[in-house]
Structure 1
Amino acid sequence: MKIHIIGGGNLGVSVAVGIAKFTQNNQVTVTRRNVANIKHLEGLGVTISSDNKHDIQEADVIILTIKPYQVDTVLAEILPIISNKTIASAVSGLSIEALQNKIGKDHQAIRIMPNIAAQFGASATCISFQEGHNVEGQKVVALFEGLGTAPVIDEKLMDAATVLAASGTAFALRYMRASMQAGIEIGFDWKTALAISAQTVKGAAEMLMEEQIHPEQLIDRVTTPQGCTIAGLSEMESHGFSSSLIRGIKAALKKIQGK
């Protein structure tokens, strides 16, 4: 496919890199006002341009990775010159219905929420689309399955998916930073502590995804009676480890919903 990404910020660049590295036979164009910041993408075969309309008529899928306040301006720029396009939006808070109303019935609105791990083929990209757009929706799903996982979800959960999958990247990294800091306190240099923490998190995630079981079942495997693991877990929970994370995720969701 020919994929046209409007918005060359962190997310747009991550998606472009992921497509270039982990999918085949796809051509990618990324547009951004200041192309100097995305010049490196050319080394991956990605076309870059400061013009949002650059060859957009040839695109099979247009991906919007822009800010909500930019949507109307960008659509006003591109809609007069395109027809029958699949427009996949990663714009926070913009519903499929609202996007469809903006782009008209000649186009197909898809809602996506990837995260910046797309550039490593490890994004959790949640996708929603209307029943009448199953064919176009499944093409987008197939594209993002090459960049990690791509579950199709009910659109009413998309704000929650934004928090759990996109903001969740920052939450996971904050845990790893704390783990690294603890590693320094117990004797490691920061590079070694970071390497151990990162690999441990990666290993835990891979076990969960491979075995498809509840996390507690894996926790039980490394938690022996009167051992150091249960002592550490009990101390963390006494200081609100799980509850703090849950409260943080809920707070982020309230923020995105404007509550």
Structure 2
Amino acid sequence: MISKNIAILGGGNLGASIAKGLVKSGLLQASQITVTNLELHMIQPLQDEIGVNITTNNIEAINNAEIVIVAVKPTVAHALLADIKPALQKDKKVLISVISGVKLQDLENVLEDVPVIRAMPNTAIAIQESITALSFNEKGLAYKDEVVEIFDQLGTTMIIPESKMPAATVLASCGIAFALRFMRAASQGGIEIGLSSKESLEVAAQIMKGASKLIIENGTHPEPEIDKVTTPLGVTIKSLNKMEHEGFSSSLVQGVVSGHKKILETES
């Protein structure tokens, strides 16, 4: 466990997922976490379900914390950062930003000498299965071990130069949606060939879990694992070739690349 308190400014999907993951991990007690939202009823379920503190007052939350996670939308980020700057500077708080498209330099321009870290997790952080990309400003590096310890309890971490953060955002954060869309499509195919909706979704979810664990635990590349089930004249290769003919891999690659371009446009 860590002894510091954490304030999460912005109790939307990602902010709420971080709070849930922190409590589930046992790294902090629920009483050490405060989540904010302008509409208290939106985060009331967090207090009811996992016991964290909730408030509409960002400054109050910051004053009761040593680490501040900002999880608001990019459109309101600048105004919020300017508003909380004095509270952050007052007691040398550490700020972790999970705001998509807002660079370290943008944060520094507003916050000046505050230690800043950019983190890009995904919503699987709620069940401690996120991959979180981290980038640090110079002052933030002093807190690297502490921040890595936090996010390692919520899945795995990857420290990268900030120049790679747009790519990490698309693949690590948006990638959850890509994987879930594959699951949905596979499940729909299963229904068409005779499985019930429940059966088909259960199979699709488990094959994704199994495939992921094969790569993670064996440290292999997908192709050798694919080769193990693609026998000559078999069903698997017939199905794979049909998918490739219809653009399966190409469409996924282009989707990732398209998302990357969108982020670069946002950051420019």
Q: TM-score, normalised by structure 2?
A: 0.92
Q: Indicate if the aligned counterparts of 1:33 and 1:50 stay in contact, CA closer than 8 A.
A: yes
Secondary structure of 1:223's match? coil
Residue 10 of structure 2 is aligned with which of 7, 18, 36? 7
Which of 41, 44, 57 matches 1:39? 44
Counterpart of 2:96 in structure 1 is 88
Counterparts of residues 217-256 of structure 1 (less than 5 Å): 217-256=224-263
| Partner Cα separation in structure 2 for residue 72 and residue 247 of structure 1 | 32
Give the drift of 1:68: 1.3
What SS class does the counterpart of residue 158 from structure 2 fall into?
coil
CA RMSD, 1 decimal: 1.4
Question: Does the CA-based 8 Å contact 2:36-2:61 persist in structure 1?
Answer: no
Report 1:21-170 matches (<5 A): 21-26=24-29, 27-42=32-47, 43-83=49-89, 84-105=92-113, 107-170=114-177
> After alignment, is 82-91 or 18-27 more displaced?
18-27
Match of residue 209 from structure 1: 216
Q: 1:132 Cα shift?
A: 4.5
2:218, 2:160 → 1: CA distance? 22
Q: Would the aligned equivalents of 1:126 and 1:152 in 2 still touch at CA under 8 Å?
A: yes
Q: Which deviates more, 156-165 or 215-224?
A: 215-224
The answer to whether the 8 A contact 2:129-2:156 is kept is yes
Secondary structure at 2:232's aligned position in 1? coil
Higher mean displacement: 133-142 or 223-232: 133-142
In the alignment, the residues of structure 1 paired with residue 265 and residue 57 of structure 2 have an alpha-carbon distance, to the nearest angstrom, of 33
C-alpha distance after superposition, 1:40-92 (max 9, x if no partner)? 21131211111111241231211111111211221222222233111111111
Q: Are 1:179 and 2:182 counterparts?
A: no
Q: Deviations over 1:10-56 (max 9, x none)?
A: 00000110001113235211100112122121131211111111241
Cα distance between partner residues in 2 of 1:163 and 1:178: 20
Q: Counterpart amino acid of 2:43?
A: I
Determine if contact 1:23/1:143 at 8 Å carries over to the other structure.
no
Q: Is this contact kept in 2: 1:5–1:16, CA < 8 A?
A: yes
Which shifted more, 179-188 or 223-232?
Answer: 223-232
Unaligned segments of structure 2, at least 5 residues: none
Shift, 1:137, TM fit: 2.3
Question: Which amino acid letter does the alignment assign opposite residue 40 of structure 1?
Answer: P
Of residues 20-29 and 157-166 in structure 1, the stretch that sits farther from structure 2 once superposed is 20-29
Stretches of structure 1 that go unaligned for 5 or more consecutive residues are none
Give 1:17's match in structure 2, choosing from 12, 16, 20: 20
